[in-house]
Amino acid sequence: MKKVLLALMLAAGTVHTAQAEDVLHLYNWNNYIAPETVKNFEKSCKCRVVQDYYGAMEEMLAKLAAGAKGYDVVIPTGFAIPPMIKQNLLQPLDKSKLANAKNVSPAFMNTQFDQGNKYSLPYSFSTTLVGYNDKKIKELGINPSSWAIIFDPAVLAKIKGKVTVLDDSREVFAAALMYNGYSANSTKPEEWKKAQATIIKAKPFWAAFNGQSYIKELTLGNIWVAHGYSSDMFQANIDAKAAKRNFGVAYGLQKEGNTLSLDSMVVLKTAPRPDLAAKFVNFMLDGKNASELTNMIGTGTPNAAAAPFVKPEMKQNSAVFPSAEQMKKLQQLTALEGKALRDLNRMWTQVKTAK
């Protein structure tokens, strides 16, 4: 009798499998959502959030292209969206379930990466810059406002073994290109070669390529200079203060220019729970919830409704909210495909294997 009842339930679809649990799987940058925000979302939709992290866009794209499944929402940077659309990885957003989409500032909508926002809606933005141990860098008399702090051997000789750069080919090459006076999006072979030579010359002075644990290393004082994201430097400084270190983690934009990353929320075509995915996207587009990203994580917000909730000291942080003049020197990285992408990957491999 029990077997008959089970068969009837299966036929009716009333037996819930493990995948039908109320669990949202989020694939995101590390330290890119406040724990309190996750708890509030779980409480509001009576579900559980499981997070997985990546350290670079290339890592995320490679994993999904290789067939990784099980994620509902991913937070890609702008230039990663076109290849995700081209590979048929994303499902169109159901705007009827996203009433809070109206909160996004028009300045961050309809970008070149997703005209009409068919697949993505803005989450937050950050700048890629240099964070540093304020005490050590002051003692050594180093000017941190130039990319020379991670590329000039004469400067690096003072901090050898105490510097890390992101394990991210696009960001490291972009910094080297800007240091040499070129566009961060240049694909001219001669400019790429000069940037590569700059990187290879500086590499012996670096402790590591590190996109995952540099916050901790800065906080512990194991490294003095890190190439990374403004939100991570914000967190490192908070951690240093909490640990009552005798130094702070300072950060600021470089005079030659920096990259700006506008990260967005997308729902994968293979999402196990697109219903929860829509609830999460709409939840994060609420002004108060969006403001937590800025107040607790240190990111800029493209959400106009968040402004009243953003702390005044955050609005005054130029690395988080650059001035109009500084914005002119910020560049969003564009998508690389085909030969350009293959060439960059080849040059990056040469960088990694260079002695």
Q: Could you tell me which residues are annotated as the binding site for spermidine?
A: 168-171
Query: 311 in helix, strand or coil?
Result: coil
Q: Which residues are annotated as a binding site?
A: 168-171
How many Å apart are CA 71 and CA 277, to the nearest integer?
A: 10
- Give the β-pairing of 120-133 and 225-229: antiparallel
CB atoms within 10 A of CB 139: 12
> If we measure between CA atoms, which residue out of 231, 232, 205 comes closest to residue 217?
232
Q: Which residues pair with 330 in a beta bridge?
A: 258
Handedness of CA 55, 58, 60, 66 (dihedral sign): negative
Q: In DSSP terms, which residues pair with 311 in a beta bridge? A: none
> How far does Cα 23 stand from its chain's mean position?
23
Rg of the chain over Cα atoms, rounded to whole angstroms, equals 22
- 135 vs 132, 140, 238, 289, 340, CA distance in Å? 9, 9, 16, 35, 41
Q: Specify whether the CB–CB gap between 182 and 139 falls below 8 A.
A: no
